[in-house]
Amino acid sequence: MGANVLNCRFVTILTLLMMIIPRPALSHANFAHLSRLDDTRISDFMDEVDPDDTEDCFSLGELDIVFRTDKNALPNVGVVLTDPRRRRIGFDPLTKRGWDALPVAQGYVDCDDLGGADTCRGIVQVCGPISGTYKLENIAQQATAYSVTISARSKEVLNGNSLQSYRSETDLENVAIRARSRNIVLLNYSRDGQEEVTAQLQQGHESLTRLSSSD
């Protein structure tokens, strides 16, 4: 019976993965149009190496983005993350376009072990993110409110006889967004453990209304 439960859970995770980033929509060709970002500029990036595999999450750092919508069911917003080198991961539910261009990253929906029925969260994990400014687009299919938590881990550095990394976290709570609209959050991440991750909602977007904040 244990094997059946594990198989069922694996199929569920695969199904949810297809929901957040439908594979037929993924297109590196679409990435060619990324230079026409709406009025948001992404800062220059540092000359840092990209990760080769998930092992580099420990040595080069990690960036995790967790998002929920107001009812905590399957999120009714899509997210698209653009890194400082203008590579994307995510899915736009309005244009039905998806991207998976970061070297080692994944996006999925998790409805497991969250302590309640129909309670889900979307997750984007980037292994070995380069330092710089990231653009996070939040795209709504219907009017809703969402929350985002951004967790970061720096690259490992030698501290005495052991390797050590540093963690930081920031979040945005209960951000309202209109149906069929999008807003933008700029994230600043550094592999340097002395700098904490930051997130800033961009003003000037008609759809953006901040209801409350944890600040």
pLDDT digits (tens, 9 = 90+) for 153-171: 999 998 888 999 999 999 9
| Token pair recorded at residue 93 | 């539910």
Find the DSSP H helices in the chain.
2-20, 56-60
What is the pTM assigned to this prediction? 0.74
Residue-level pLDDT at 189: 98
- For residues 182 and 178, what is the distance between their CA atoms, to the nearest angstrom? 8
The answer to the question of residue 93 being in a domain is: yes
149: in domain:
yes
Range of the domain at 54: 2-210
Q: If you count DSSP H runs as helices and E runs as strands, how many of each does the chain have, helices first?
A: 2, 14
| Number of domains the chain is built from | 1
Q: Per the domain annotation, does 215 fall within a domain?
A: no
pLDDT of residue 74: 86
| Whole-number pLDDT of residue 139 | 97
Residue 19 lies in a domain: yes
Nearest in space to 199 (alpha carbons), one of 213, 186, 210, 212 = 186
In a domain, 114, yes or no: yes
Nearest Cα to 69, choosing from 15, 124, 118?
118
